[in-house]
Amino acid sequence: MSLLPILRYPDARLNKVAKPVTVFDARLRQLVADMADTMYDAPGVGLAAPQVDVHEQLLIIDTSETHDNLRVFINPEILWASDEKEVYDEGCLSVPGIYDNVERPARVKVAALDLDGKRFELEADGLLAVCIQHEIDHLRGKIFVEYLSPLKRNRIKAKMLKEERELERELQGNSGYPRRKR
Ligand code: NI
């Protein structure tokens, strides 16, 4: 089991646009396995590769209670989105402790490749539809707080930066731990 460090908002690396995956090999399988370990450990229901500083179009989702329904989406694209919208209280492993309402299409149809490079299509609603859209946003360098008002977003940014400073102070006070690079 291998846990990957998750980038925290407002780290600028979260705004990089991810490149398509072109090679379907053992490295990709290992990355997905490590991302799954990281997501389940957090715990979260979705994780996109840019959140672990890998800027490739890859995301994983598991909305099951039992953590046994891992879905892998490579080079995903939304083919269709419903006019009907739904508001969901979203959170993100890169913005820990923050939840807020985001309105998105209630249903989407997505096409993606699996770990073997085979194309599939999926129609989703409910939490799965929210997750797919939230994680695809990560591949475009967009974080859910960018849907909120500038006032809210600035408050969240300030809170995250304050926590970051406190964390760095703790790490510095604890010899043997290298200071985290930003
Ligand atoms: Ni997220």
pLDDT in tens, 77-128: 999 999 999 999 999 999 999 999 999 999 999 999 999 999 999 999 999 9
C-alpha distance from residue 166 to each of 4, 10, 96, 155 (Å): 21, 15, 15, 17
Question: 45: which residues sit within 8 A by CB, 6+ positions away?
Answer: 39, 61, 62, 63, 127, 131
In b/e form, how buried is each residue of 60-86, taking b as 16+ CB within 10 angstroms?
bbbeeeeeeeebbbbbbeeeebeeeee
pTM of the predicted structure, to 2 decimals = 0.92
- Tell how far the Cα of 176 is from the centroid of ligand 1, in angstroms: 31
Q: Pairing between strand 119-125 and 46-48? A: unpaired
Calpha distance 23→8 (Å, rounded): 28
Q: How far, in Å, from the CA of 68 to the mean position of ligand 1?
A: 20
84, 90, 135, 166: which is the annotated catalytic residue? 135
Task: State the pLDDT at residue 37.
Answer: 97
Ligand 1 is an ion; its neighbours by CB within 5 Å are 92
User: pLDDT by residue (tens digit) across 7-23?
Assistant: 999 999 999 999 999 99
For 133-181, what is each residue's pLDDT tens digit? 999 999 999 999 999 999 999 999 999 999 999 989 988 876 555 555 5
- Please choose, from the candidates 93, 52, 59, 91, the residue with its C-alpha nearest in 3D space to the C-alpha of residue 73: 59
- Strands 71-81 and 85-90, bridge-based pairing: unpaired
**pLDDT for 172:** 85
135 is annotated as an active-site residue: yes
> What pLDDT does residue 171 have?
86
Q: Ligand 1 mean position to 9 CA, how many Å?
A: 10
Separation of alpha carbons 112 and 147, rounded Å? 25
* d(CA 110, ligand 1 centre) in Å: 18
The pLDDT of residue 48 is 98
Side-chain half-sphere exposure of 4, counting CA atoms within 13 A? 24
Separation of CA 24 and ligand 1 centre (Å): 24
